[in-house]
Structure formats: structure tokens, C-alpha cells
A and B are shown apart, each in its own frame.
Chain A
Amino acid sequence: MQTGVRILFQTMAGRRFASLASALALAPLGLAGCAAINGMQEPLTADQAATIRLVCPTQEQRAASDAMADGVGKRTYRDGVVADCVKMIDGKYADFKMRLHKDAAISNLSTDLLALGLSGAAALTTGATANQFAEGATVVTGARTAINKDVFYEQTLPAVEAAMDANRSKILASIINAEKSDPDGKSYTLAAAGIDLDSYEQAGNIYTAIAGLTQTASNTAQQAAATVTVAQEQPYYVAKIVAPDIFPRLLRVTKAIRSIPAGPPGQPLLDSIAKALAVPIQPGASFVTERADILNAINQRIHTSSDPATDMTKIEQQVSAFITLP
């Protein structure tokens, strides 16, 4: 049974809607005004069960492997079967990508709807299909906004493909590493490899790729929006030139803070300095944003101080409690 999901674009009652339905439910592509994009590769089992194998690896291969004594022979057999499966899955994936481009080229998408995201359309479907659709739908907002389909296919499709490729590469790497770490075929059995191969096959799935891309885009957008909001809400302050005898000390402190390594080693230091200086940190702020907040606070304190020498000394003491000043 075709388990793939097709996204069909239809013109309904003079307005365009995207509807999502199982391939069987809306399979006839002869529907006027419809076009379809199949969102995932054909599963290996779809057309090969009868002639080649039920799953990859087969029950027989698993049994044969299990019957072997641990050692080079078992490993070679396992790796050979896994390699065959990977090759077959890769073949299906290549077919899928070609079909994706072909679908894109022939789709009747001279509409103002973007192919993979129509929030309102989720209401037209039910159950798991609707959930799948809703995940993808967040890619696009404003369903009635005119969208150039060429832009979508030229820019979005490659991004989705890249995400699928990345997902597949990650899983394939883990399979290869698992094989290498078990040279006798003792713990990484064909059964275990089969589970990983299923994941590898499933990674060639447009919905998984879109969900990942959407999450990334959403996180980035939220962070950018938060930064803009904070920047807009920050008041201006009247700054004074810092005296020549104080400025080198200010530079010493700010350069030391900029030299804190990003990531796990430096984050606790940065947090401690922010706390010592009573610098409020935005929830979820990145390392760079938190560091910028600290630098801004120090500069503001010194550039507005009526006694910059004393304030500079305090800041030096507070910061040098955590990092060495040059």
C-alpha cells in the first residue's frame, strides 16, 4: 500500500485550497486543476516484497547471521548485507529526488499558494494526516499571499533536499561507526542494523526535513525578534568621553571579557561575571548576546560615571574574580 502522503492543490469554489489526503484517497491525478507532490521516497517494501525481500535485512539473513560464530566472517556477512541495503535505499532515494523535481516541474502550481504550507488546510484533513500536514504548514504563513512558485522551487526545495541529505548522512555515519566499533559482529547484529536502516530509509522524508527546517527557522526568528525588541526598548543615555588614564583600564576589562571562549567552558564564567556586575540577562540569550549585554553595561557605567576611576576599580575587582585581566 502506498503510505506516502500527497499534497494536492485544488481550486475550490473559486478559491484555492491545499488539501492533504492519503495517496489512495486522492490518487487520481486526472482531477482537473490538481497536482501532486509525493513527500517521501517509496519504501523498500512497497514493490520489492514479493520478489526480493520483506524487509532489509530479511528474516533469513538475520537468522543466518545469528547462527554464525562471532568473528570476521560474521562481521563481513553483516557488513555486506548492510551495504546491500544501503545501496538499495540509496537507489530509492535517488528515484524519489528525481520524482520530486519532476513533480515540481509539472505541478499545476500557477496559484498563489505555496506548496508545503497552508495552515488552514489542516482543518480539511483529519487524524495523523492532519498532524503531518500541520507540521509542514508552519513553513508558510499567509496562505493567500502571492508567492512565486519559481522562488519556492528554486530556493526552498534545495533547502529541504539538503536537510534530508543531512539527516541521511548522520544516520549512515552512525551505522558505519556501529559496524566499526563491533568488528566481530557480536553486539551490532543484523537485527540492530535493521532498525538503523529503517531510520536511514525514513530520513528520506520531506516532512521530517521540513519539520527540522521549520524548527530551526522558528528558533532563529524568535531570537532575532527578541533581540530587536530589546534593542528598541533600550533607552539612549548621554555618554561622556572617558579620560585617557581610565580608558586603557576599560579596554583591558572588555578585551578580557571578549577573550572568554564561547560554549561550555566560557558560559559559566560569563554567567558569573554578569551576576557580579548585576547585568540582567535575557532569558535564552546566546553567549554572544549575553557577552554584548555585559560589554554594554560596563561601557555605560564608565561612560556615564561621575567617578569613573572608582567605578573602574570596582569593575576590575568584580571581573578579575573570575578571569585574569591582561
Chain B
Amino acid sequence: MKHFFRTDAQPSVAARWLLSILFFVLLIAAYLAGSSYRHRENPQDKVMPTVSEMLDGMKRSAFERDRTGELRLWVDTFASARRFGIAIGVIFLAIPLGVGMGLFPYVEALFHSFLVFFDKIPALSLLPILFIVFGLDELSKIALIVLGVFPTVALDAYLRARSIPREQIHKAQTLGASEHEIAYRIVMPQIFPKMLDTIRLNLKAAMLLLIAGESLAATVGLGYRIFVVRRYVAMDIIIPYVLWMTGLLFLSDWFIQWVIRRRYGWLDK
């Protein structure tokens, strides 16, 4: 214990491993204790389903057709992934915009203060207006994610573009680079991997906005399902859905990290 707060501590492999699973174990144990307590009081309890009930809920969602004849987990995942993917695609456009703002004073004057202000608007509270402008269908759900995350990413790209040493830009100019080449051949490739990280860290915000959008008006989607089955306290479906979403998000995060390591090995060297 006396080594615990030493900066030069060297925990053994076993200790590292044990410590890193400790909170997972505690969380699961607390859940199981709570669940079994509630089931002793009331065998039909739906609020904290047992593991076997959740497995059954997962099986029904993934492999059995529901009353509308759908394998809903896959249908929901596909619909949500599509919305999510399109939104993230649009958010990538924030990178060239941010670079433009960071390098061209006119572009900066045009967008910067507006985006700083826009970034502070809690997009969720404007949903009724979003619905009026974009309707209740796919567009409004994608727009909600984009509005929530785009300004953050654009402003981050702006800051990173500005932090590129001026000498580099002067040097490029003396070598005869055009203004566009400076922005999009010299500055943007340098900050791009960092921007991937920014987008990665914003995945959760995007997911929250997706769920919020789907909870308000939808016929399909992971967030939609969670809000509908809530009507009959089907936690045996909700908890596996939440774990599934967490897993998907974790994988996306991991994938982006892998891309950064793999393609941008020069980063931070």
C-alpha cells in the first residue's frame, strides 16, 4: 500500500490485471445482489432482471421475429448506425472549415464568433424548432447530432490550425505554394490525426444526441426501442440494448485509435 501513490510505482502484472477489473467486478456484484434481493421480494420483478432474463431478452431481440415480423436488434442497429454514420460524415466537414478559419482571416471573421456562440447553444432544448425546420423524419435526427458536435470539432480544428508555426507557412510561401496548398496540403494533413481523436472523444456526445432524437419521434432505432419498451418496464431488453450500444461505441473508439496508430505512425514523434 505504501507504494500506491508513488509516481515510480511498478505494479506486477497480476496486480495491474486485478486492479483494472476491480470496478467491473464490484459493479456486476452490486447489480447481482440488488437483482437477487428484488427477486426474493417479488419473483416477477422487472426492474432489475436476472442474467438469464436478460439473455432471453437479448435472444428474443436478436434472433426471434417480433410481432411486426422484424429481427429488431439488427433493424434498430442498422437504422441508428446509418443516422450516426451520416452525421459523423458531415461532421468531418468541420475540419476543412476549421482549418480555413485558422488560416484565412476573412473566413475567420465570417465564421468564428458565430460558431463560438453556436457551440454554446444546448441543441436539445431547441428540438421543437428543429422539428419545424427539418420535419420529424431522418433529417431532424441527423441534424441534431450535427448541430451538437460540428461546432466543437470546427473550433478545435481552428485552434490546432492556428498553432501550426508561422515559419512553416512562410517557408511554403517562399517555395511557391498556393494559398490553398498551404491550408489543405500542409496544415490540414498535420492536424488530421489529432482531429480524428477529437471526433473520437465526441462519439459519446453524438450518441447521446442520437438517442435523444430517436426518443422523440421514430419508428425504428436503438434509442427508439429503449423508450418504447420502457412502457412495459422491459429492463430485460433495455439493459442488453445499452450494453450493445456501449460495445459498439467502444469498438468505434478502438477502431479510430487503431487507424491513428496505423496510418499516422509519425504522430508525436
Asked if A and B are interacting partners, one says no
Q: Which residues of B contact A (CB under 8 A)?
A: none
